Amino acid sequence: MTIVLAGKSPQKARVEEILRSEGFECVTAASPRDAKELSRDFPVILLGNSAVDLFLSDDVFAFRKISGLGAGEPAVFLLDYGSDTPDYVLPLVLRRAVSTALSKRPVFILARSVRSGIPGVEKLYFDARNAGAAIIKYEELSIQRSDDICEISVSDGIYRYTLGTPLLVDCAIEEDKEAIEYAKALRIHTYGSNRINEDRWFLSPGRTSRRGVYFLDTGLIVSDRLKDTIFSIADELRRSPDAQQETRAHVDASKCAFCYTCFRVCPHAALEPDGSAAAMKVIQPLCTGCGICAAVCPAKAIGLHGIGHIGIEPGSAGKTLAFCCENSAAIAADTAFRDIDADIVRIPCGGSLDGESIAAALKTYSRVIVAVCADEACRHFDGSVRSMKQVEKIKQAVGKLGVDPGRIGFVRVSHAAPAVLRDAAGR
């Protein structure tokens, strides 16, 4: 099998060597345009080279710096200074803090916010504290630098601390701007300030929003973890496509207005223009069946194989209907609705829900809840955001018709947080 390597990285030769040892042939995309063309026929691995402090990314460098600390001299990790430290850098920081503390050196982690919603990070926080690292959530911070020592004055809003250290680790990151150009050409979903979604916990290592396109930030994935990630990608490529997935979008060319709405909203780059039919077409291997394109199509030209129109049985007075994302709320609903008189309609993604379905439910149910994934946990990336906008739009519309918009609820919920869904249904 042939794999396309795109982007520039000092680790490219090593990546290619590992792939060849796994039986793959590698070709290089010289430009974003080349990568786009080659991605039609071959899987692509985009290599990024974000810059992060060597103390976080290089084990040998870190060992030398730790060994050079004098007795009682601390290592200080500085997060969120100037701008928020990206979530995907946090595990690097905590792992290095643990190894430094286990080397019998004082360790301080200074952070403007403490984030625990990332899978695995809660345990890393525990490991860091257990190893002896002190974590300070600061409100004010100032730094005085000299040739050998950095003097840090930090306040948590109650106490003020002064730290002197020869090892101040700035946990900021300088992202690879060229990789973003490749990402745009490959139609990979990005977020925030054009960051590629390598920190999305629900993606297996290296995956992006587009099937067959992978991203390795070799500035951050170091040591044996780079090899393990490549092995994971290789195993996935050797497996046959998901034959069990029956839900796919399809376009009725006779209805298509060729407006490109679906092309713009598809989070998986699964739609493209078909010039021969003057209509859009679905690239079937890329489609995940999320239904977002069908929900926004103004001509109702898109349907989903495997799912018909959302069927809603007549409800009864006082009863609640919950539209639940199958990846989150539908799982939580099994526990949340044990003692609540509510009906559940599973939907592939919150973004697949249109206003007509919500309005139809209001005719027979006293209350309608739309329950989708938690912030930044949507497997279709912006599906939950689109769902929220759809709910706000329909609430405004029914309000103008004299219907109480309070009968419509919206909640973001994790599959592991049924209490959140139960509280929303009980209001």
Report the distance separating Cα 240 and Cα 394, nearest Å: 41
Domain 320-426 coded CATH 3.30.110? no
**Residue 4 · residue 42 · CB < 8 Å:** yes
Give the pLDDT band (50/70/90) at residue 308: very low
**pTM here?**
0.77
CATH class of 2-50+175-238: alpha beta
What was the pLDDT predicted at 199? 58
Q: What integer is the mean pLDDT of 135-155?
A: 92
- Which of 172, 173, 169 has its CA nearest to residue 107? 169
Domain ranges of the chain: 2-50+175-238, 52-173, 248-305, 320-426
Statement: residue 418 has pLDDT above 90: no
Evaluate the CA torsion angle 288, 294, 296, 297 in order and state its sign: positive
Q: Which residue has the tokens 């190894």?
A: 99
pLDDT of 352-383, one tens digit each? 998 888 988 898 898 999 999 987 788 898 89
What was the pLDDT predicted at 173? 84
Report the chain's mean pLDDT, rounded to a whole number: 87
Phi, psi of 250 (to 5 degrees): -145, 150
Q: What is the DSSP string of 108-176?
A: EEEESS----STTHHHHHHHHHHHT-EEEE-SEEEEEE-SS-EEEEEE-SS-EEEEEESEEEE--EE--
Q: How far is CA 419 from the centre of its chain?
A: 24
What was the pLDDT predicted at 203? 73
Maximum Cα–Cα distance across the chain: 77
More confident residue, 280 or 202: 280
Statement: residue 220 has pLDDT above 90: no
**Homologous superfamily of 52-173:** FAD/NAD(P)-binding domain (3.50.50.60)
Statement: residue 161 has pLDDT above 70: yes
pLDDT of 277-297, one tens digit each? 899 999 988 999 999 999 999
What was the pLDDT predicted at 130? 95
Q: What integer is the mean pLDDT of 23-38?
A: 95
What was the pLDDT predicted at 336? 86
What was the pLDDT predicted at 427? 61
Q: How far is CA 247 from the centre of its chain?
A: 22
**Residue 197 · residue 203 · CB < 8 Å:** yes
Burial class of residue 378, CB neighbours in 10 A (0-12, 13-18, 19+) = buried
CATH class of 248-305: alpha beta
H-state helical runs in 43-104: 54-57, 59-67, 90-102
More confident residue, 215 or 194: 215
Query: 182-208 burial, b if ≥16 CB within 10 A, otherwise e?
Result: bbebbbbbeeeeebbbbbbeeeebbbb
N residues, the chain: 427
Give the pLDDT band (50/70/90) at residue 307: very low
What was the pLDDT predicted at 414? 86
What was the pLDDT predicted at 312? 53
Statement: residue 154 has pLDDT above 90: yes
What was the pLDDT predicted at 117? 63
User: Identical fold at 2-50+175-238 and 248-305?
Assistant: no
Statement: residue 9 has pLDDT above 60: yes
Helix (H/G/I), strand (E/B), else coil: 45 = strand
Q: What integer is the mean pLDDT of 309-322?
A: 64
- Which of 8, 11, 4 has its CA nearest to residue 222? 11
pLDDT of 221-261, one tens digit each? 755 678 888 999 999 888 865 545 567 899 999 999 999 99
What was the pLDDT predicted at 194? 65
Q: How far is CA 146 from the centre of its chain?
A: 40
